[in-house]
Structures are given as structure tokens and as C-alpha cells.
Amino acid sequence: MAAPSPPIEVERLAEAIRAGDRAVLSRAITLIESKRADHRGTAAALTQTLLRATGKAVRVGITGSPGVGKSTLIDALGSMLTAQGHKVAVLAVDPSSRRTGGSILADKTRMARLANDANAFIRPSPSSGTLGGVAAKTRETMLLCEAAGYDVVLVETVGVGQSEIAVADMTDFFLVLVLPGAGDELQALKKGVIELADMIAINKADGDNLARAKAAAAEYKAALHILTPASSNWSPPVVTCSALKGDSIAELWSKILEHRDRLTASGELSARRGEQQVKWMWTMLEERLFAPLRSDRAVKAELPKIETEVSAGRLAPAAAVEKIAAMLER
């Protein structure tokens, strides 16, 4: 069944976004992030209208512990790509930062070139809400950026744990950035993030760090050797680089393109994106269904009491669920 024609306001927004109007793109993202019911409807109509203009970008997720040099790498990679004629969007997923709205706000000082590049667009994640909500809004933002002509989207996870899974689930390629000789080898193995990686890059491989970087690369190659790759069409490589000096950044990008070519040829990229879309739908639905628990004052006031009753063994969890559901259905 064909989708209904969008309202005139939505069509005007869509037209301006497709024309690459950055101011309108920013306003549209703010609309997407809004929790107002009327804005949700307009945002849904807008993404539906722009859907055919999306999906052409290379979507890269980037993670790494604080201090690993994510911002410096993004600045170096993004600047190299804009110099080659690409348009680059940088997004963040950070459910932990309610005050700043994501470290990208602070990290813009470490993305000096991209922050002043007319062919780059930097946007932090929403500053509050659950991980599911933040991730869903970042996905919607990614679509708007693609419709605006950004052909490379870099999604940075500045949180840990679940945020890494969320970013891996919305991108085509997941890059794990680590430091040489700083215990990151064991840390990444413990977190399981290595299993998500399409490539591991040891950053700051320069000067006195060079030997440690090579040793770390050998450790990771050995670790990856005993793991079954997530894709039968790709074995995650391990590279060393120096984002600060720009060393091996071109090689890193060539690996990303090689991965894209292989998965496109096999049909895996299309299948993966389809699965991501369905996960995206369920994530947004869960967020919508849970919204009253966070917005209804009466329900919010009652929840701590119900939790106390369940914790003390005076109320069965099943009975508590029924009680909460009844409150939501009023």
C-alpha cells in the first residue's frame, strides 16, 4: 500500500534537506529528537518522505576507551575524505552524558579541521533518555544526513558496553580503536568488543610507541585467529596507525572500502541493513511503549513504591506488572 502524500510543511523540509541546506538539516534533527507527540508524527512523515534518498552512504562505527584518540582519528579520516570530495557526517551515541549531550561537544576542539569544514557536519546524540531512545534518534539522524548528501557517516560511541552493540547494529563497518601497551588488549577481550570488530586499529603507533604497537597488533591477530569471524566474507584485519601524524589513515579507509565491496558483492550488506531496519523498528516501538513510565507523573511516583514491595517480597513481580499495566491503561 502506498504511503499517503506528506503534508506541505514536510515536503518543504524534505526538499531543503535534499538540497543540502545545513540549517534546515539541523532543525529537522531537533524535530526528530523531540518527545512531543505532534513532532513525532511530523518526524515520521519526514523520514518516510526522504527514505528513497537514503542508504547510499558508507556507515562506519568507531569505538575505543577514553584517551585512545577517537576524536583525532575522526578529524584525520574525515579531513582526508572531504579533501577527496566526500561529504562527512559525524554522529555520537552517548546515553551516559545528560549534561553535555555527548563528548563530541567538547571534542569539537580536537576536531578543529572538521568543525570548520563546509563538507562536514558534526552532531552529538540527544542529551538524555535511555540507550534505546538515543540510538534510535541517532539512526534517524543518520538517514537525514544521508538524504542531505553526506556519503560517509561516522558514528562514534562515547559510552561503553551496550552503546558499542547499538553502534555496531546501525553501521556497516565497526572499527575498534585501541592503544599500544596500555592494557587495552585484555580490556577489549574482556568486554567482548573484539567480537564486534570488523577491524582493530592500534592508534598512536609512532615514536617510542611503535614497538609496543607492533606487539599489540600481534596479540590481537592471535586473538582474532581463534575466533570465528562474524562474516564468512570478511576476516577482521589488525592495523597500526597514528591519527596525530596521519600515518596509515588512507590504508584504514581502503580496508573499509574493501569490506564494503565484498559484502555488497555477496549480498550480505543488503541483508544486514534489512535486519538492522527491523531491529530499529522494535527499538523505537519499545521506546514508545515505555515512554509513559518516564513521563506520567502519577506512574513515576508509584513505581518506587512498587519496586520496594517487590524487593521486600510482599508483591510478586507478575502482580506488580499487572498493577503497572493497569495504571498505564487508565
- Mean pLDDT of residues grouped by 10 in the chain (330 residues)? 66 96 95 86 92 95 88 95 97 65 54 92 73 78 96 86 84 92 56 84 89 88 81 92 93 97 96 93 84 80 92 93 85
- CA nearest to 246, candidates 58, 61, 83: 83
CB 104 within 8 A of CB 127: no
Tell me if residue 271 falls in helix, strand or coil.
helix
Q: Identify the pLDDT of residue 291.
A: 77
Give span(s): CATH 3.40.50.300, the chain. Answer: 54-266
Amino acid at the residue 185:
E
DSSP 8-state code for residue 187: H
**72, 114 in Cβ contact below 8 A?**
no
Give the pLDDT confidence score for residue 109 in this predicted structure.
61
Contact 58, 151 (CB under 8 A): yes
In whole angstroms, what is the distance from residue 277 CA to residue 169 CA?
Answer: 9
267: buried, middle or exposed (CB in 10 Å: 19+, 13-18, 0-12)?
A: exposed
Find the length of the chain. 330
- Give domain 54-266's CATH architecture: 3-Layer(aba) Sandwich (3.40)
**DSSP bridge pairs for 88:** 120, 152
CB-based burial of residue 128 (10 Å sphere; 0-12 exposed, 13-18 middle, 19+ buried)? Answer: middle
The whole-angstrom separation of Cα 144 and Cα 28 is 8
Cβ neighbours for 14, distance < 8 A, ≥ 6 positions apart = 6, 46, 49, 50, 147
Question: Do residues 13 and 53 touch, judged by C-beta distance below 8 A?
Answer: no
Strands 199-202 and 152-157: unpaired
C-alpha–C-alpha distance, residues 272 and 267, integer Å: 9
> What's the CA angle centered on 196, arms 192 and 197, to 5 degrees?
110
Based on its alpha-carbon atoms, the radius of gyration of the chain, rounded to whole angstroms, reads 21
HEC assignment per residue over 259-280: HHHHHHHHCHHHHHHHHHHHHH
3-state helix, strand, coil in the chain (%, to 5): 60, 10, 30
Q: What are 316's three cell numbers?
A: 510478586
Helix axes 8-18, 37-50, angle to 10 degrees: 50
From-to residues of CATH 1.20.5.170 in the chain: 1-53
Asked whether the beta carbons of 236 and 198 are under 8 A apart, the reply is: yes
Instruction: Kindly state the helix (H) or strand (E) to which residue 8 belongs, with its residue range.
Output: helix 8-18
- The pLDDT of residue 101 is 44
**What does the pLDDT read at residue 11?**
93
Residue 324's CB is within 10 A of a number of other CB atoms, namely: 16
The grid cell for 101 is 549531550
The answer for residues whose C-beta is within 8 angstroms of residue 154's C-beta and 6 or more apart is: 60, 62, 74, 77, 78, 88, 89, 90, 91
- CB-based burial label for 145 (10 Å; 0-12, 13-18, 19+): buried
**CATH fold of the domain at 1-53:** 1.20.5
